[in-house]
Each structure stands twice: as structure tokens, then as C-alpha cells.
């Protein structure tokens, strides 16, 4: 009898330890590696910028708080070792809720679909707890301990796996939101390279991420060289979080961008009014030039681009222009029937004629777009023709 009780006690302890290790590992990795940037944005918005989220401390303290909640739940329910993992569900539910902050267009917090998910999950959990309580009489403590040890452990691990899948699929895994949150966090810490690296190869983007990439490139003086290598969305009006813009900042202060360009707008104005005003009032920094020129290119306004280019860059055979400016200039001159460009900028001109002549090789737009994406993505030619 005493040995059977000892085996049962040891088996219960083993189940508890395994469940605790699984929970701590998942929670720490989930919070530190996958949700840290989104949590930083959420805390910033909820506190109106008064507090800042720390990736390491946040992961540890949130996990500790959720584990303490589980201990309280386990003391109340006194679940058998066969279904002990059920005591982790309230903690897992809170972990999912913390990882899935929802904000409307005005950045106001909203429960969203959690209004009905929480009651539903808690109801199902209550039913599962009740059923497991009814099955307590079927526990046999006199069987060989190692057999029941194996079954009980894996049964609880399976229950925790179901909860892990629930957290994973019920929280905000929107790639673009994570790209933007990580880019803003990186820029806030002065790491422009990391901001540019995140999601660089992805075809998913939005106007806000385009604005952040333009800003990161501008700080490096490489906007005219690399902007169109990224997947872009929006037009020139989305380059700054101003009037008529679809771009918005979640974490990075807008003044960081305005200071980089020369000054903060005093009233609601659009991008072009802002750029013209700081140039007129002599507040503009050198970065404004690339915002103006790339703004015209994003709008596919080659005529305005060519007219503005000499204001900021010397146009001569001895001066090398940033890549995208050279591409746009060659394209414009070629469309104007300038035959000299074929000899002066032969390499760029050949690329332009090659992507332009895809129309003859592939009559179907879908086929032509795929070929252009494979061979010319990252050039202004591709942006101009296929975006």
C-alpha cells in the first residue's frame, strides 16, 4: 500500500514538473522571440508612451505571473495527474489575450473577437474539468507505475500541445504588423540596418512599412539607390504620417522623422505642402531632396522628376547618379526618343529595353509579370511597369 502511494505521488510530481517545464519553455520563447515587438507597441499605446517594454524582463515577469495563476487554479481544482494540464488553460488563455492586442484605426484598444472567444473557451474548459472529475474513480494506483507514468505524461503533454496551438492560431500573427513593429523598435534604438532587413524579401507590405523603409534608407543616404528594391505600397502622400496619408506610426515618434527632414509641421498639411514649406523657409535638410525625387518616382511622374532632378544633383557624364534616378532618367529620355542615351547609359538602357520588350515575348500580362518579377524586381523599371 505504502509503495503504491509512493509510486502515485512520484508519478504526480513528474507530471507537474513536465507540465511546468513545457509551459515555461513555450511562454518564454513565445514572448521573447515572437511577440516582443508587438507587446512593445501595445504597452506604448496603452500607457500613452509613459512606459517602455523590456523584451527580457517582460517575458520573464509575464510568464511568472501566468505560472502563479496556474498554481492558484491547481490548488482550487485539485486535478488528478491524468488531466493536470487543464489547470494551465486560464494561463494560456491570458497569454493568448496578451499576445493579441487589437487596436482600431485611431489606436484605441478593443477586445475584438475575444468578447465571445473567452466565454466560449472557459465554458468548454469547465466541461472538460467536470468530466475529468467524474473519471477520477477510474484511476488505478496499483498498476505498474512506469506504464501509467508514460501514459499520464504524454496525455498531459498532448493537452498542452492543444493549448499551444490555440495560442498560436488565435493571436495576431499578421506578418506586416510584426514587420512594422520590429522596424519601428529597431529605428527607435538607432538600428536602421535591422529595420531594413526585416521582411526585406517578403511581398507583403503596407504604406506604413514603406514609410519606415524610406526613412531608414534616407538616414543612410541611400533612398535613391535602394528604395525600389523593397516591396512598396502607396504613393508619395504616404511617405510621411501627414494629412491624406495612409501611413501611421505605432511606436516611433513622428518628430523623429520630421527632425530628420528639417522641421515639424505646425498644422495639418499633406506631404507636398510640407516639403515645399520647409524648402521655402530654408529649414530643409539634404534628406528632403530624396523625398522629393522618390515621391515623384512613386507617383510615376517622370516629367516632374526630370524637371526637379537638376535642383539636387549634377547631371553630367562624370557624375554617377543613384541607381533609381539613373533608371528613371534613362526611361524618360528613351520615351522621348533620345537616341544618345543608348550610348551614354548603355547598360541601364539595355535593361530598360529588355523589360520593355517582354511585352513582345509574352502577350499575356500574367506571364509577363512573372518574368519581370524574376529578372527585374528591385529596379525602378519593374515598379513603373508592373506596380
Q: Has residue 4 got a pLDDT over 60?
A: no
Give yes or no for a contact between 95 and 167, defined as CB atoms under 8 angstroms apart.
yes
pLDDT digits (tens, 9 = 90+) for 271-305: 999 999 999 988 999 999 999 999 999 999 999 99
- Report percent pLDDT > 70 for the chain: 89
pLDDT digits (tens, 9 = 90+) for 159-176: 999 999 999 988 877 788
Long-range contacts, 333-337 (Cβ 8 Å, 24+) = 335/302
Rounded average pLDDT over 299-312: 95
- Report percent pLDDT > 90 for the chain: 56
Q: What is the DSSP secondary-structure string of 93-153?
A: HHHHHHT--EE-TT--EE-TTHHHHHHHHHHHHHHHHHHHHHGGGG--TTS-HHHHHHHHH
Q: How far apart, in whole angstroms, are the C-alpha atoms of residue 302 and residue 329?
A: 8
pLDDT at 11: 61
Question: Which pLDDT band holds residue 110 (cuts at 50, 70, 90)?
Answer: low
pLDDT digits (tens, 9 = 90+) for 236-261: 999 999 988 999 998 899 999 999 99
Q: How far apart, in whole angstroms, are the C-alpha atoms of residue 66 and residue 99?
A: 13
| Cα 57 versus chain centre, distance | 21
Average pLDDT of the chain, as a whole number: 87
Please report, to the nearest 10 degrees, the dihedral formed by the alpha carbons of residues 255, 260, 263, 267 taken in order: -50
Q: Has residue 47 got a pLDDT over 90?
A: no
Among the residue ranges 99-108, 248-257, 291-300, 318-327, the one predicted with the least confidence is 99-108
pLDDT at 130: 86
Question: Which pLDDT band holds residue 138 (cuts at 50, 70, 90)?
Answer: low
Q: Has residue 104 got a pLDDT over 60?
A: no
Buried b / exposed e over 239-250, threshold 16 CB at 10 Å, is bbbbeebebbbb
Q: How far apart, in whole angstroms, are the C-alpha atoms of residue 234 and residue 22?
A: 44
Q: How far apart, in whole angstroms, are the C-alpha atoms of residue 347 and residue 362?
A: 23
Question: Which pLDDT band holds residue 343 (cuts at 50, 70, 90)?
Answer: low
pLDDT at 108: 60
Q: Has residue 341 got a pLDDT over 90?
A: no
Question: Which pLDDT band holds residue 10 (cuts at 50, 70, 90)?
Answer: low
Q: What is the DSSP secondary-structure string of 29-40?
A: HIIIIISHHHHH
Amino acid at each position: 500500500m505504502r509503495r503504491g502511494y509512493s509510486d502515485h505521488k512520484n508519478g504526480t510530481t513528474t507530471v507537474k514538473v513536465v507540465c511546468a517545464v513545457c509551459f515555461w519553455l513555450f511562454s518564454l520563447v513565445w514572448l521573447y522571440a515572437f511577440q516582443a515587438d508587438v507587446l512593445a507597441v501595445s504597452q506604448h499605446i496603452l500607457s500613452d508612451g509613459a512606459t517602455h517594454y523590456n523584451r527580457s524582463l517582460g517575458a520573464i515577469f509575464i510568464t511568472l505571473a501566468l505560472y502563479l495563476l496556474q498554481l492558484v487554479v491547481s490548488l482550487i481544482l485539485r486535478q488528478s495527474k491524468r488531466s493536470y494540464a487543464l489547470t494551465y488553460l486560464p494561463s494560456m488563455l491570458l497569454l493568448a489575450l496578451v499576445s493579441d492586442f487589437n487596436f482600431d484605426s485611431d489606436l484605441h484598444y478593443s477586445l475584438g473577437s475575444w468578447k465571445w472567444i473567452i466565454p466560449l473557451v472557459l465554458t468548454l474548459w469547465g466541461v472538460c474539468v467536470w468530466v475529468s472529475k467524474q473519471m477520477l474513480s477510474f484511476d488505478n494506483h496499483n498498476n505498474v507505475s512506469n506504464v501509467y507514468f508514460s501514459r499520464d505524461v504524454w496525455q498531459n503533454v498532448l493537452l498542452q500541445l492543444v493549448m499551444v496551438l490555440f495560442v498560436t492560431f488565435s493571436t495576431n500573427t499578421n506578418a506586416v504588423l510584426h514587420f512594422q513593429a520590429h522596424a519601428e523598435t529597431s529605428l527607435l534604438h538607432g538600428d536602421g540596418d535591422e529595420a531594413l532587413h526585416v521582411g526585406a524579401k517578403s511581398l507583403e507590405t503596407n504604406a506604413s512599412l514603406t514609410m519606415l523603409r524610406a526613412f531608414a534608407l534616407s538616414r543612410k543616404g541611400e533612398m535613391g539607390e535602394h528604395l525600389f528594391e523593397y516591396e512598396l505600397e502607396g504613393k508619395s502622400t504616404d511617405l510621411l504620417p501627414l494629412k491624406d496619408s495612409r501611413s501611421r506610426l505605432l511606436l516611433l515618434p513622428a518628430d523623429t522623422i520630421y527632425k530628420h527632414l528639417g522641421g515639424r509641421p505646425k498644422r495639418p498639411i499633406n506631404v507636398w505642402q510640407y516639403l515645399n514649406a520647409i524648402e521655402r523657409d530654408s529649414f530643409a535638410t539634404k534628406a528632403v531632396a530624396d523625398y522629393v525625387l522618390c515621391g515623384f518616382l512613386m507617383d510615376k511622374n517622370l516629367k516632374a522628376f526630370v524637371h526637379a532632378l537638376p535642383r539636387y544633383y549634377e547631371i553630367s557624364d562624370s557624375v554617377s547618379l543613384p541607381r533609381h534616378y539613373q533608371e528613371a532618367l534613362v526611361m524618360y529620355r528613351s520615351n522621348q526618343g533620345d537616341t544618345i542615351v543608348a550610348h551614354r547609359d548603355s547598360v541601364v538602357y539595355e535593361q530598360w529595353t529588355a523589360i520593355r520588350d517582354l511585352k513582345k515575348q509574352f502577350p499575356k500580362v500574367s506571364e509577363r509579370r512573372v518574368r519581370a518579377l524574376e529578372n527585374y524586381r528591385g529596379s525602378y523599371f519593374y515598379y513603373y511597369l508592373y506596380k
